[in-house]
Structures are given as structure tokens and as C-alpha cells.
Structure 1
Amino acid sequence: MFGISEIAIVLIIAIVVIGAKKLPDLVRSAGKSARILKAEARAMKEQEADGPGGPARPPQVIRGETLDRPDQ
């Protein structure tokens, strides 16, 4: 579908448009989002396998960054 040259061109354009300084943060947040999505999909699949009224498990905590809330 895509060759290495096309992917390289897209990456170079992304670096120019987004900026080299912000690109690592963007990739890091995309990785965290993918990890959360994968965990949620796994939890939904397990919940469907248990069926309605099956054993309820406590929610899993996904460790990540914590943000200070200004209202507290």
C-alpha cells in the first residue's frame, strides 16, 4: 500500500508542520491513548464473556499523568 519513501515524506511533512519540539509529546500522548483504548476494549470483551449478572470486578486503574485541578 505505502512504500518507505511515501512514509518518509509524510513524516518529514509532519515534522515541518507540527514542529520537532512538539512531536515527541504528540507521539507520547498517542501511545497513552492507544494503551487506554486497548485496556477498555479488553475490559468490554471480558464483561461480555461474563454475561449479564456475572462476576463484577472492580475497575482497573491505568497509571499515567495526574493533573492538578485548579478548583481544589
Structure 2
Amino acid sequence: MPLTMLSIGKSAIIKECRGKDSTKKFLEGLGMVPGTQITVISENGGNLIVRVKDSRLAIGKGVAQQLWVVV
């Protein structure tokens, strides 16, 4: 399921990025690679604040929809 479907406070494992190569490289640079745990901290208008590897990151709705996770 896309990351945008994950409820606030819930954690999941990143499965894949279904975006362009540039989007994949951007996410990899932030530590969002397959097999990594991600937790949704908050949501505002579809944009998400997430926790990845002890860091808080803000990602837009469009990017979050391309990031697929498994619970």
C-alpha cells in the first residue's frame, strides 16, 4: 500500500519506490530504502512528517504516494 494510507502513529517497512529514478535517488539519500522501518508522525493536507532511522523528515503527498510499504 502507498505510504499515504498508513495511519498516524503506525509503522511499516518500506517495500519499494514506484517513482522516477530521480525520486528513488532522492529517497535513498534520505535513508528511505527497501527494508527500512518508517513511522508516520503527523499529516497535514496529505504531506507527511515521518521518522526514518531516528530522523524526522517531511515529504510531500506526491512522493509519499510513490513509496510503497508493508505493515
TM-score, with structure 2 as normaliser: 0.24
> Which protein has the larger Cα radius of gyration, Structure 1 or Structure 2?
1
Instruction: Return the structure number with greater strand share.
Output: 2
Q: As a proportion of its length, which structure holds more helix? A: 1
